A = this chain, B = another copy of it.
Amino acid sequence: MTNSVFAKILAGMVDLSAEERSVLVKLEERQRSLRRGSVLQREREKISDLFILRQGMMMSYVLMGDGSRQILRFFFPGDMVALPSAIYEEAPETISTLTDCVVAQFDLPMLMAATQGHPRLGALFSVYTQIEQVATNDRLASLGRTAAKARIASLLLDMRDRLRRTDSAVGASFPLGLTQEEIGDATGLTSVHVNRMMRQLESEGMIKRSAGQVRFVNEVALVRETSYTDRYRNLSLDWLPKPRS
């Protein structure tokens, strides 16, 4: 394979040197195709492999004692997957595919080796994980302190922005690819209430749904509903070391 989707994400932050790119390409050499509904990793199992999602959509989730599910995160092309699990004896989350997927697979020693001679790349991995952290904090605030409609609006805006990172065809319209049950499990709602809220967003002229696509009809109103922020923007990275060119 001659390219790296993870590099596409990082390239949105800094200009990568040719050498840095080649290191990233190597991380994505070992690829696997997965069917929709595959489980890459199950909660409480020992896992040490990491993945970069190249095509498709995935998610991570936990099952609660009462059988309900909390989806922690959706993954889109370019995302690094399973890093938190790799440091534990037992994976804290289940990871599975939502569509047919292509992933690149590697492990922590390979990651360590990759950053060895490239301190800036190591720092960029840290930046990536911090962005994740901030995005998770945003979701936390969304679940803790906003109403159902706003949670769903946030989720939709987030999906659009993250799809657009690697697919410039995504504009006001994008394929949803989630059931209302999944949206509910991500936002802490029931599928019934997700349904009601989505139709309300539609009847209020904020979104339009058809053939599995969502279109933002009034994006300004949607954003006003949510206080959503794209956390891949407005980074301050002048402290990064010089690249190894």
| A contact set with B: CB distance below 8 Å | 46, 48, 62, 64-65, 68-70, 72, 83-84, 86-90, 92-93, 107-109, 112, 116, 119, 122-123, 125-127, 129-134, 136-141, 143-146, 187-188, 227, 229, 231, 234-237, 239, 241
Query: A241 to chain B: closest CB distance in Å?
Result: 6
Query: A49 to chain B: closest CB distance in Å?
Result: 11
Q: How many copies does the complex hold?
A: 2
When the two chains form their complex, are residues A84 and B141 in contact, meaning their CB atoms are under 8 A apart? no
State whether A236 and B48 are in contact (beta carbons under 8 Å apart), knowing that A137-B93, A145-B70 are contacts in the complex.
Answer: yes
Selected contact of A87 from candidates B46, B83, B107, B237, CB within 8 Å: B237
When the two chains form their complex, are residues A144 and B70 in contact, meaning their CB atoms are under 8 A apart? yes
State whether A70 and B112 are in contact (beta carbons under 8 Å apart), knowing that A89-B234, A234-B90 are contacts in the complex.
Answer: no
A48 to B240, CA, bound (A): 13
- Chain B residues in 8 Å Cβ range of A132: 133
- Chain B residues in 8 Å Cβ range of A140: 70, 72, 136, 139-140, 143
- Chain B residues in 8 Å Cβ range of A144: 70, 143, 187-188
When the two chains form their complex, are residues A87 and B235 in contact, meaning their CB atoms are under 8 A apart? yes
When the two chains form their complex, are residues B87 and A127 in contact, meaning their CB atoms are under 8 A apart? yes
Determine which residue in A126, A138, A140 has the highest number of CB atoms from chain B within 10 A of its CB, and name it. Answer: A140
Query: A245 to chain B: closest CB distance in Å?
Result: 18
Selected contact of A134 from candidates B84, B107, B109, B145, CB within 8 Å: B84
A69 to B145, CA, bound (A): 7
Determine which residue in A119, A123, A127, A145 has the highest number of CB atoms from chain B within 10 A of its CB, and name it. Answer: A145
Query: A100 to chain B: closest CB distance in Å?
Result: 26
- Chain B residues in 8 Å Cβ range of A229: 92
Selected contact of A227 from candidates B64, B84, B138, B141, CB within 8 Å: B64
Output the nearest chain B residue to A122 by Cβ-Cβ distance: B122
Query: A191 to chain B: closest CB distance in Å?
Result: 14
- Chain B residues in 8 Å Cβ range of A239: 48, 86, 107-109, 112
Determine which residue in A88, A116, A122, A125 has the highest number of CB atoms from chain B within 10 A of its CB, and name it. Answer: A88
- Chain B residues in 8 Å Cβ range of A236: 46, 48, 86-89
A128 to B70, CA, bound (A): 23
When the two chains form their complex, are residues A70 and B141 in contact, meaning their CB atoms are under 8 A apart? yes
- Chain B residues in 8 Å Cβ range of A134: 84, 88, 92
